[in-house]
């Protein structure tokens, strides 16, 4: 069966996350339904990252096996037409035929996330559901300094959801950068894989350093404690975006 890679963008606001749910709308289900409407084939698509409810993506990747070959442009056009017809906030950015050895999840070598904080007194208008509104002034430089203490291979139990199903809390965090552009603070995280709620947990903890409540040493101590109760507030999903997934050349 021919296999296709899909590069996908979506607004996660109205979805219960990427993964198919029994009675709630999901991104996976919406795309599978769109495929069925023009191929009459029931399929299961596999995504690179199982984003949570409310989390967005500009660079999600999935693969799907179809029972016949399609021209890539025609497949992309048909998918987008049916998604638009169903009023889904999802767009397929690219379609590529790939070999059967390609797996959107297991072939990935890195995942890159962006978290946006709107740091001003006035609430969001244009950035509503696209950023975490924090009215209290934050020190982005202090947040970046604290973020560097989390880099490397560690037990990230402190920043792991109690519902996380990963076999091990050990992960290697390759990048965690904090920058400010006007009222927007951007936190960019990169790793081969992340634990459930890891990025949002780290962001919420870094916010405490931005407020002056914690030092970089406090953040490192929380990590070393490997204790979920030492985590700061878990940031809301609104500001989180899956922006890229890397694969071998």
Question: What positions carry a catalytic annotation?
Answer: 52
Q: Which of 71, 90, 77, 97 is nearest to 14 (CA)?
A: 90
Torsion over CA: 245, 107, 101, 42 (sign) = negative
**Count H helices, E strands: the chain?**
5, 10
CA–CA separation, 223 and 156 (whole Å): 6
Rounded-to-integer distance, Cα 248 and Cα 243, Å:
17
Token pair for residue 190?
């990169």
Instruction: Concatenate the DSSP letters of all residues of 53-84 into one string.
Output: TT-EEEEEEEEEE-SS---HHHHHHHHHHHHH
Given a contact cutoff of 8 angstroms between Cβ atoms, the answer to whether 176 and 188 are in contact is: yes
Q: Which residues contact 148 (CB under 8 A, 6 or more apart)?
A: 176, 216
Rounded Cα gap, residues 28 and 21, in angstroms? 9
- Cα 54 from Cα 239, distance rounded (Å): 9
């Amino acid at each position: 069966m021919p296999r296709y890679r899909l590069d996908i963008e979506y607004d996660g606001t109205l979805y219960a996350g990427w993964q198919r749910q029994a009675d709630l709308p999901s991104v996976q289900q919406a795309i599978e339904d769109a495929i069925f409407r023009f191929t009459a084939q029931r399929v299961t698509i596999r995504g690179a990252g199982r984003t949570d409810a409310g989390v967005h993506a500009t660079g999600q990747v999935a693969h799907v096996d179809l029972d016949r070959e399609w021209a890539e442009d025609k497949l992309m056009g048909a998918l987008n037409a049916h998604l638009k017809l169903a009023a889904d906030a999802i767009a397929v950015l690219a379609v590529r035929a790939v070999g059967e050895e390609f797996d959107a999840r297991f072939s990935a070598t890195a995942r890159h996330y962006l978290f946006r904080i709107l740091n001003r007194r006035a609430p969001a208008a244009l950035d509503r559901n696209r950023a975490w509104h924090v009215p209290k002034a934050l020190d982005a430089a202090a947040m970046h300094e604290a973020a560097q203490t989390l880099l490397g291979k560690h037990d990230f139990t402190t920043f792991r959801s109690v519902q996380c199903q990963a076999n091990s809390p050990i992960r290697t965090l390759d990048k965690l950068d904090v920058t400010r552009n006007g009222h927007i603070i951007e936190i960019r995280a990169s790793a081969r894989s992340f634990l459930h709620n890891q990025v949002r947990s780290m962001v919420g903890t870094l916010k405490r350093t931005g407020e002056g409540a914690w030092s970089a040493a406090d953040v490192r101590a929380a990590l070393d404690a490997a204790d979920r109760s030492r985590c700061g507030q878990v940031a809301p999903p609104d500001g989180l975006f899956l922006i890229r997934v890397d694969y071998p050349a």
